[in-house]
Amino acid sequence: MSWLTEFVRPKIQGFLKKEVPDNVWKNCDSCGQMLLIKDLEKNLNICPHCNHHMRASVTQRFDWTFDPNSYTRLDLPKAPVDPLQFKDKKKYADRLKENKTKSQLDESIVVAHGTIEGQKAVVAVMAFEFMAGTMGAAFGEGFIAAARLALAQQTPLIVYTASGGARMQEGMLSLMQMPRTVIAVEMLKEAGIPYIVVFTDPTTGGVTASFAMLGDIHIAEPNALIGFAGPRVIENTVHEKLPEGFQRSEYLLEHGMVDIVASRKELRPTLAKILRLLSNTAQPSEKVA
């Protein structure tokens, strides 16, 4: 089977850590309190006043998930760039360039492998800072590469989701990433490899409606927006006030869509515990289809 033989070879990729000066402040997105960024980062971007979980960068996610200095980033495969030659008020090609410069990332997914409390794992992080974490062809290739690496290493795959949905500028090629990512999930399921989804704020649209909702275990950060349609679209359709806490992590827990709502501080131990519980139980199946 072509999809079994052509898995991607991991490549070591260096990265730089930026030091934040001591005197930079930021207001909490939720309660508005002034917070020293340095303190905020030490507290995993959680507001000490209101427990609001602020967005995190890809590097932060890796640092908070993996054991210190244990991870290696994966060089992701190439994908069609601007296949539609899309242009709205701005050219998509220009938007991509701007997002690359601004985020210092190549696309809306970054993949690394390393250890979590000594347990090997592949971790894919969706970068909301790159075009709102939208899913285009490059994302799809990255996700498939992550699954193939997990398959090749026989280690669990953990995915942090954050997405505004489809990458409109890639048209139907974007929509087709829904079945493509589900195929990647199916490869893991057949091989008995654990696949854990960590929902972060916000996760909506085609991402929620494909690979994200197919995890063996679903964990969500507190108060993350998780849904198919965005709240504004729903409000404009039904002309009703949305219920309190609608589409938030705790609401999804209540409605049976996630297993655990975990504070960011509990995430690493929770993931490690699950990995330990599910390790050595997998029976790689011989079946390919």
47 binds Zn ion (CB under 5 A): yes
238 binds another protein (CB under 8 A): yes
State the Cα–Cα distance between residues 248 and 149, nearest whole angstrom.
32
253 binds, among Zn ion, another protein, none (CB under 5 to 8 A by kind): none
State the Cα–Cα distance between residues 231 and 246, nearest whole angstrom.
8
109 binds another protein (CB under 8 A): no
166 binds another protein (CB under 8 A): yes
Nearer to another protein, 10 or 206 (CB): 206
Near Zn ion in 91-110, by CB under 5 A: none
Long-range Cβ pairs for the range 246-249 (8 Å, 24+) = 248/223, 248/224, 249/199, 249/220, 249/221, 249/222, 249/223, 249/224
Structure tokens at 95: 């938007």
The site map against another protein for 77-96 (x = CB under 8 A) is: -xxx--xx-xxxx-------
Residue span binding Zn ion (CB under 5 A) among the ranges 30-38, 75-83, 176-184, 212-220: 30-38
How many residues are listed for the chain in this entry?
A: 289
State the Cα–Cα distance between residues 76 and 109, nearest whole angstrom.
9
Structure tokens at 216: 């063996």
The site map against Zn ion for 139-178 (x = CB under 5 A) is: ----------------------------------------
Q: Which residues does the annotation place in the binding site for Zn(2+)?
A: 28, 31, 47, 50
State the Cα–Cα distance between residues 157 and 166, nearest whole angstrom.
22
AA letter at 42? K
State the Cα–Cα distance between residues 258 and 180, nearest whole angstrom.
23
Contact set with another protein (CB under 8 A): 1-3, 78-80, 83-84, 86-89, 137, 140, 144, 166, 168-176, 178-180, 182-183, 185-186, 205-206, 208-214, 226-229, 233-234, 237-238, 240, 242-243, 246-247, 255-257, 288-289
